[in-house]
Amino acid sequence: MDPDSHIHKEENKDPGFGEILRLLFFKKFGINLTLLLLLLLIAVVSTIYLTPVPPQVIQNITCPVCQECEQCEVIDCPKIRCPTCNCTEEVTGFMYRCEDGRIVNESDQCDEVLLEITTTHLSAENGVTIAIDDIEYDYYQGEGRINQIDYTIINKGDRAIKPKVGVKVYEEWTKAVKDSLPMRTFTTEDILPINNGIRKSEPVAIDFKGDVQTIRLTLTDTIPDPDDEIVTVYWKFIE
């Protein structure tokens, strides 16, 4: 028997676990140990990174119910009243005294007391106006009676007057009517100053006849002596 054949058979035996460990730790390989450890570290990290993470289960969360805020009452703040300082300033101006004694700022204000005349039955002379505002009368079949006469006098002349008013009612103006005395006369003790006026309603009882009637008022100033006839106005109230 060939002695080398026995050796050859022993070399062909399968290595055991111990032989593997011996070869692993004691046999020299052509790789650096540091590189080997680095490869192992990479393998471990890759395993951890690639391992799926189970999803995190979150419990159902219920949102809190918001409470309504209490509405605040609107309150008005009190107004603060600051003290008022009164200042006195000396002012130089001019005032006007009207004929009736009133003191006004402007001379035109003296005319404010004048009455307004709306009738067309008026007449003026030298700044003095007399107007027949209205008459009240009854008339039936050619006969009638005047019951009241309303008239206005305005003095814008150059002097004060003391008015007297004479009344005539006629069908036709004739010399006899002209020379006759007034049927009624209205007098007053009051003086009518410049830029003043009066309005009167005088009750009367003047009878007349005829289908055409005219009333005539004559204004006279009784301050002069003799009396001064100023102005006359007439109104044909039946025609």
pLDDT tens-place string over residues 81-124? 666 666 677 767 777 777 666 777 777 666 655 788 999 999 99
Give the confidence band of 133 by pLDDT, cuts at 50, 70, 90. very high
pLDDT beyond 80 at 34: no
**What would be the CATH architecture of the domain defined by 114-238?**
Sandwich (2.60)
- The closest of 212, 210, 188 to 198, measured between CA atoms, is 188
Residues in the chain: 239
Task: Tell the residue number behind the tokens 């006279």, with chain if given.
Answer: 220
Give the confidence band of 40 by pLDDT, cuts at 50, 70, 90. confident
Domain ranges of the chain: 114-238
Where residue 180 falls (left for φ over 0; alpha for ψ -120 to 50; beta otherwise) is beta
Instruction: Give 184-212 pLDDT, tens digit per residue.
Output: 999 988 899 998 999 999 999 999 999 99
Contact 163, 191 (CB under 8 A): no
Distance CA 163, CA 22 (A): 163
Give the confidence band of 130 by pLDDT, cuts at 50, 70, 90. very high
Contact 114, 195 (CB under 8 A): yes
Distance CA 186, CA 199 (A): 12
Instruction: Show the tokens assigned to 171.
Output: 């069908």
Q: CB-side exposure of 230: number of CA atoms within 13 Å?
A: 29
